[in-house]
C-alpha cells in the first residue's frame, strides 16, 4: 500500500515542501509514497512550486485506515482527520513533542532545528540519495521560509549548511530568491484598502479615546505606499479618535506606520520623527509594542 | 548542568547498558552526562556489568527540575518520578510512542529495531566516536538480551550488524557469552523448591478437578533437574488433583514438565511420550498452550 506523507493543517511552505521531498526520498529508496496537503496551499509555497515547476499535492480528506508519515508536526490537533485510525509509520519533525500515542514501534526523527526540510535533506545524505534539482529547490524554499533567511532565533548551523548546499544544487541566489518568494507570499494585490486596514484590527479604549490598531505583515510595502493617499483618505474617514495601521516587515524587523493622529502623539509613542509612512525599527508586536507605546502617549496628550 | 540519562523503571539489561553507553557518548562529545537507573539492577545486567568491570549506576529518586535524556522508553508511566517537572532534552528509544508532551523542541530518535543500544551504537558511528571496550561489551549485552540472541521477532538486520561489530571490539564469543549471561540472569540458586513452584502459579477448575499450573523461565535447567526428586516430592505432597510445573527455556523455545498427574493425561495434553522432565517443544505460554492442552486432556480422562 502506498504511503501518505503530509505536513500540518493550514500548510506553510515547510509542510508542503517537506511532504514532497520526503515522499520523493521514499520513492528513491524503493517505497511507494505520495505527498498530500491538509488544506489549500498558501501563496508563498505556491511561488516555490511554480518556480521549480512542481505540481501542488492533492488535499487529503481523511487519514483513517491509511499508512501515513507525518512531517513538520506531531500533534493530533494539527494533523489529518482520522489520524487516530491511521497507521503512523514515521514522524519527521522539528517541533515539541505533542503527545501522539501509537500501538507499535515506529520511526521518529525529531530534531531541534529551524526547519523540517533540514532534517530531510540530511536523510538524503545519510542514504546517499542524490537530491533532484526541483526537490533541492523546494527544501531550500522551506528552510529560507522557516528561518526567515536565517534571522529567526530557531535557526541552527545545520539549517544554514543545508540551505547553502541546496542553493548550490539549484544555482539560485538564496537571498534574492527568498525576498521574491516572501514578496509574492505576502502580496496585498488581491485586497482592497478597507480589507487591508481591517485584516487584523483591534479596538482599544485609551483614556476615553476610541483607538484602533491594524497590523499587516508584508514585504510588498511598495504597493501599500503607492496608494498612501487612498489609505490616509480611508483612515481619516473613520470614526476613530486615533487609528494606526502598522505595515510590518519581518525581514527589516520593523513597521511602517500610517495613522490618523497628531504627529506629536506618534512621535511620543514610538520615539521617531513622526510623518506618514515612518519606519519604526524593532516594532513588530501590537501587544508588546504598539499598544503600550500608544497608551503611554495618549496619557501625555 | 549535568545531563541525567536513564532507562525505564524495573530496568532490564538494555535500559541499564543504554543509559551508560549514551552518557559515555555525550561525554565523548563534550557534554557532562551521568547514567542512572530507576530501580535495582537485575542479575542479567549485573552479569554484564561485572564481566566488563563497569560500576552500577546510582538509583535516581526524582527527575524534577533536571535536564534529562530518556533511553529505552518514552512514557511517563515507565519513567522517573517528577518527569513532568523535568526538562527532557532527548529521547532515544525503540518502543511505540507513549504520549509524552514537551514545551520546547527536543531531539527524538525512535527506530523500530530490537534494542535501544543498536540505535546508540549507530550514533557513535554517525559521530565518529570510537566505542571503548567496556561500552562495546555493555551494548552487545543489551542487544543479545533484547533480541534473545536474534531469536526475537523484533530483531532487525541493524541489530545483528551492530552486535557483530561490537563483538569484534570485545573479542568475545557472542553466543557463549549470551548463554552464560542468560543462565546467570535466570539462575534459581537463591530460591527454595517451594518458592520456585509457586513463583508464578495459577489454580484452575477443570471438570471439577483442582488443577495447578506453575511456570518459571530459566536457562538454568540443570539446577532444577539436579533436584528433580525433591521437586516431585513437594509437588506430589500438595492437595491438587493435578499439578504441572513448566520450566520454560525461551532459547530452546519449549518447556520441561514436572507433574503430579497420570502420564496418560500429560501425553494426551501435549502429544509427547510422557515422563517426568519431558521437554515439550514450542510450549512457552501457559494461557495459550498449557491451559488449553490440559483442559482438553482432563475432559478425556
Measured distance CA(B138)–CA(B8) in Å, rounded: 17
Measured distance CA(A112)–CA(B170) in Å, rounded: 35
Helix, strand, coil % in chain A, rounded to nearest 5: 40, 25, 35
Nearest to B11 by CA among B52, B51, B66, B58: B58
Measured distance CA(A167)–CA(A145) in Å, rounded: 14
ipTM: 0.85
Task: Give me the residue label for grid cell 497628531.
Answer: A262
**Interchain proximity A101–B106, CB inside 8 Å:** no
Nearest to B184 by CA among B76, B47, B299: B47
For residue B106, give the nearest of A88, A104, A112 by CB distance: A112
**Longest distance between any two alpha carbons in chain A, whole Å:** 70
In chain A, which stretches have pLDDT less than 50?
none
Tell me the DSSP string of A177-238.
HHHHHHHHHT--TTS-HHHHHHTTEEEEEETTEEEEEEEEE-S-HHHHHTTHHHHHHHHHTS
- A70 CA: distance to closest CA in chain B (Å): 13
Q: Calculate Rg over the CA atoms of chain A.
A: 22
Q: What angle do CA B122, B124, B126 make, to 5 degrees?
A: 70
How far, in Å, are A93, A114, A144, A146, A285 from residue A151 at the CA level?
Answer: 20, 10, 9, 9, 16
CB-based contact A26:A91 (threshold 8 Å) = no
Q: Residue B223 has what pLDDT? A: 86
In the structure, how many helices (H) and strands (E) does chain A have?
11, 13
Nearest to A90 by CA among A104, A76, A98, A99: A104
How far, in Å, are A46, A207, A213, A291 from residue A241 at the CA level?
Answer: 40, 11, 11, 15
**Interchain proximity A106–B112, CB inside 8 Å:** yes
Residues 6+ apart with CB under 8 A from A192: none
Nearest to A260 by CA among A232, A294, A221: A232
Q: Residue A250 has what pLDDT? A: 86
**Interchain proximity B107–A104, CB inside 8 Å:** no
For residue A71, give the C-alpha cell.
Answer: 512531517
CB-based contact A15:A39 (threshold 8 Å) = no
Beta strands in B87-208 (DSSP E): 87-93, 96-98, 101-105, 107-110, 201-206
For residue A105, give the nearest of B94, B102, B106 by CB distance: B94
| Domains assigned to chain B | 3-185 (3.90.1640.10), 193-300 (3.10.310.20)
Residues of chain A contacting B106 with CB distance shorter than 8 Å: 96-97, 110, 112
**Kind and range of the H or E run holding A96:** strand A96-98
Q: What are phi and psi of B279, to 5 degrees?
A: -95, 125
**Interchain proximity A104–B96, CB inside 8 Å:** yes
Task: Judge whether A107 is closer than 8 Å to chain B, CB to CB.
Answer: yes
- B91 CA: distance to closest CA in chain A (Å): 9
Measured distance CA(A18)–CA(B233) in Å, rounded: 69
Pairing of strands A96-98, B58-59: unpaired
**Interchain proximity B110–A112, CB inside 8 Å:** no
Residues of chain A contacting B72 with CB distance shorter than 8 Å: none
Measured distance CA(A174)–CA(A141) in Å, rounded: 9
Would you give per-residue pLDDT tens digits along chain B (301 residues)? Answer: 699 999 999 999 999 999 999 999 999 999 999 999 999 999 999 999 999 999 999 999 999 999 999 999 999 999 999 999 999 999 999 999 999 999 999 999 999 999 999 999 999 999 999 999 999 999 999 999 999 999 888 999 999 999 999 999 999 999 999 999 999 999 998 899 999 999 999 999 999 999 999 999 999 898 899 999 999 999 999 999 999 999 999 889 999 999 999 999 999 999 999 999 999 999 999 999 999 999 999 998 8
**Kind and range of the H or E run holding B293:** helix B291-300
b/e burial code for range B246-275 (CB count within 10 A of at least 16 → b): bbbbbeeebbbbbbbbeeebbbbbbebebe
Q: Residue B171 has what pLDDT? A: 98
CB-based contact A103:B100 (threshold 8 Å) = no
Amino acid at each position: 500500500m502506498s504511503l501518505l506523507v503530509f505536513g500540518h493543517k493550514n500548510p506553510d511552505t515547510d509542510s508542503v515542501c517537506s511532504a514532497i521531498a520526503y515522499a520523493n526520498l521514499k520513492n528513491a529508496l524503493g517505497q511507494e509514497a505520495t505527498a498530500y496537503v491538509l488544506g489549500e496551499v498558501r501563496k508563498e509555497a505556491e511561488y516555490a512550486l511554480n518556480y521549480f515547476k512542481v505540481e501542488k499535492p492533492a488535499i487529503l480528506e481523511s487519514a483513517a485506515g491509511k499508512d501515513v508519515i507525518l512531517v513538520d508536526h506531531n500533534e493530533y490537533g494539527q494533523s489529518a482527520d482520522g489520524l487516530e485510525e491511521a497507521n503512523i509509520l514515521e514522524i519527521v519533525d522539528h517541533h515539541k513533542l505533542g503527545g501522539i500515542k501509537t500501538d507499535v514501534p515506529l520511526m521518529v526523527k525529531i530534531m531541534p532545528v529551524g526547519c523540517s526540510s533540514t532534517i530531510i535533506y540530511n536523510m538524503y545524505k545519510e542514504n546517499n540519495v542524490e537530491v533532484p534539482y526541483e526537490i533541492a529547490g523546494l527544501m531550500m524554499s522551506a528552510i529560507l521560509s522557516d528561518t526567515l533567511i536565517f534571522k529567526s532565533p530557531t535557526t541552527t548551523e545545520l539549517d544554514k549548511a543545508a540551505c547553502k548546499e541546496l542553493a548550490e544544487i539549484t544555482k539560485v541566489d538564496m537571498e534574492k530568491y527568498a525576498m521574491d518568494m516572501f514578496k509574492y507570499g505576502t502580496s496585498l494585490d488581491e485586497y482592497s484598502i478597507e480589507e487591508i486596514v481591517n485584516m487584523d484590527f483591534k479596538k482599544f479604549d485609551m483614556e476615553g479615546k476610541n483607538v484602533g490598531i491594524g497590523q499587516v505583515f508584508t514585504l510588498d510595502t511598495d504597493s501599500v505606499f503607492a496608494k498612501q493617499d487612498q489609505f490616509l483618505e480611508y483612515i481619516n474617514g473613520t470614526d476613530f479618535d486615533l487609528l494606526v495601521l502598522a505595515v510590518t516587515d519581518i525581514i527589516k524587523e520593523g513597521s511602517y506606520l500610517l495613522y490618523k493622529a497628531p504627529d506629536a502623539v506618534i512621535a511620543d509613542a514610538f520615539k521617531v520623527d513622526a510623518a506618514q509612512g515612518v519606519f519604526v525599527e524593532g516594532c513588530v508586536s501590537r501587544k508588546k509594542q504598539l499598544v503600550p507605546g500608544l497608551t503611554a502617549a495618549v496619557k501625555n496628550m
